[in-house]
Chains A and B, each alone.
Chain A
Amino acid sequence: MIRKPIPRLHRIVLGIVGFVILLAGYSWVSHRAHVENPRNKTLPNFSQFQEGWHRIATGEGGIEFWADVTASASRLAIGVGAGVLLAFIIGLAMGCFPVIESLLMPPLAFFAKIPPTAMLAVYFVFFGVTGIKIFIALIAFGIFPTLAQAITQAAQKDVDEHTLYKSYTLGASNFEVVWEVVLKQILPRIIENARLQIGPAMVFLIAAEFALADQGFGYTLRMQSRLQNMNIVYTYLVVLGVFGLVIDWLLILLRRLMCPWFGD
């Protein structure tokens, strides 16, 4: 039978095996490249990685790891924060009031379909090319349309009409219904959708940093791949992956903490 559960231990072992295969595959490819050309820099071997880590740790060779982390993390945090806040207000309003929905949904649905990375140039015109504004705008407006639509849908579908009638019968005002009833019920959905938008947000961040940052992950990735220091590039990519997993895990934790009734 398909989907037959397997023991937890097997799951863990298989997970580790997955990574081991990946690592073994890479080592083999790298080894072969070094047999062909011992000075190969594009598929670094372990000692080349160590050298790269040493450079990152000591800040040698113009690599400022912590400055990159701070720059990228703050851009991402402010950008996602602004996007979520905007989507929360507009999405909730659209979900609760059909007038607002009719007015805003068509343009939103339209803009949700244009990838922000395709209109980078438009962002540069409107938000300038210096300072942090452009990063925040790109991330916030990048994730806002999809997120707002999801929140609207949650407010409309996930809240049972009977609950609304009951609240009104008990004498609740419009505001109280929205704040106390609707919001409470859709909060886990909001957090969940925000979590799913972290991926796209990172795409927008890196795209912008590739073009116009002088610090941050996108900047270092571009510079170092230009200079073919792939030992630095791969290391940064791994850190970026871990970075994403940590944010993911934090948001799941937040959801469990704020909405324990929602379950896993």
Chain B
Amino acid sequence: MTRLQLATCTLLVAACMVGCNNKRSTTTGGGGPGGETPVMSLAWSEYPSWSVFGVAHEKGLLNKDEGAQGELEKKWGVDIVLVQADYDTCLSEYGNSTVDAVCMTNMDSLAPSLGRDSVAIIPTSTSVGADACITVGVDSLEALKDVPTYGLEKSVSQYAFERCLEIEGANPDDYEFKNMDPAVAAQGMQTGDANVKSIMVWNPFVMQTLRDREGAKRMFDSSKIPEEIIDMVVVSKSKLAEPGGEKCACAILDAFYQVNAMLADDAERDDTLKALGEKFSSLGVEDMEVVVKETQMYATPKDGIELFEKTEFKDKTMPMVVDFCSAHDMLDEKPSVGFGDADAQLNFDASYMQKVQEGE
């Protein structure tokens, strides 16, 4: 091989690498019908208050594809791109900046906001019983000390587990929490695996396990800690600052509240619940009634604003969540958390909900 060939090869490979480096990001926008329509991508995973966005697409409020607009997208003059993925994948996509907005919980928002300034624009729901410790043949907290509890480590499950124990007056250090995917832990218990006597999982696994395993019972659940586990929509600060960013955020919120209005409407409730249930899991309308009770939605802008302005949430819950994450090696440093504070790394901002409220 001559020197020339060698050099050509090297150049070719280098050229390929440069060519491959096109990001699949919508931050540049311009994909909309008019060419000028601001675009925002939102990653969501199946969860009662997030499957709402899937339903919004089905009902024609938001069109999930880029370049196509639903009713509300036209109203606000924006293009919302909905990306459905597993929860973990959603987190990575947001962290990678492949999407502009994501559905995630308050505790999982902390780590990404260390790398990307983030704004929580809306709380969608809070877990009031949707995260539960389910046991078979273990009847007391004392007996629970002898068996490991399986659930996803460094997640809301572990948080709810330790917080509930604390509230019961027990010391979480006396209990063993072992890592296992919630779907697998639930399946293990449903199959009757003799080693799986206690699991800490979220819905739909809670409902499924209670239904499918004889003798399974709730030891305790997140109804002891209402408004501590918050499901939300988080948007990157830089995306919001772009022209049209705010309108995109408003369109997302508007869609959320409109689907909730359908849920509140007796005539449409069953139909909407069924649609949510199909998105969420194979649970029927009856089970979904329980699910939405345990995953209490912030159905109106008023409810959402109230939470973001609540002193208890600002001064007690969030600092406690940050401390928990830091103590469990989920953060190398604590991000600054603010409420309506534009400089904070994670900012809980109620102003978008206010805008949607006024717009109505």
Contact = CB atoms under 8 A, between A and B. Distances in A.
Interface-centre pick from B108, B191, B196 (highest chain A CB count, 10 A): B191
A219 B179 contact: yes
B92 interface: yes
Contacts of B238: 37
A214 B10 CA distance: 43
Contact of A40 (B13, B115, B184): B115
Interface-centre pick from A37, A55, A129 (highest chain B CB count, 10 A): A129
B116 A10 contact: no
Contacts of B130: none
B115 A124 contact: no
A29 interface: yes
Nearest to B27: A36
Given A125-B187, A128-B188, A223 B154 contact: yes
B14 interface: yes
A226 B97 contact: no
A14 B97 CA distance: 34
Nearest to B96: A42
Nearest to B183: A211
Interface residues of A, number: 38
Contact of A212 (B6, B116, B154, B180): B180
Contacts of A213: 179
What is the size category of the interface that chain B forms with chain A? 35 or more
A226 B97 CA distance: 14
A121 B187 CA distance: 8
Nearest to B193: A128
A222 B88 contact: yes
A115 interface: no
Contacts of A125: 187, 191
B140 interface: no
Interface string B175-195: 000111101110110010111
Interface in B174-221: 178-181, 183-185, 187-188, 191, 193-196
B54 interface: no
Nearest to B9: A14
Contacts of A14: 6, 9
B4 interface: no
B64 to A, nearest CB: 24
B178 A210 contact: no
Given A10-B6, A228-B95, A211 B181 contact: yes
Interface in A29-76: 29, 37, 39-42, 51, 55, 61-62
A18 B150 CA distance: 45
Interface stretch (B121-129, B290-298, B324-332): B324-332
Nearest to B115: A41
B107 to A, nearest CB: 11
Given A10-B1, A39-B115, A228-B115, A21 B13 contact: yes
Contacts of B181: 210-212
A41 B114 contact: yes
A61 B329 contact: yes
A51 B114 CA distance: 15
A213 B181 CA distance: 9
B112 interface: yes
Contacts of A61: 329, 332
B193 A42 contact: no
Contacts of B330: 227
A227 B330 CA distance: 6
Contacts of A18: 13
Contact of B184 (A211, A223, A226, A229): A211
Contact of A130 (B6, B154, B193): B193
A225 B92 contact: yes
Given A212-B180, A219-B179, A41 B187 contact: no
Interface string B81-119: 000000010011001110000000000100110111000
Contacts of A25: 14, 17-18, 21
Given A25-B14, A125-B187, A130-B196, 8 more contacts: A42-B92, A62-B328, A121-B187, A128-B195, A129-B193, A223-B153, A227-B330, A228-B114
Interface of A: 6, 10, 14, 17-18, 21, 24-25, 29, 37, 39-42, 51, 55, 61-62, 121, 124-125, 128-131, 210-214, 219, 222-223, 225-229
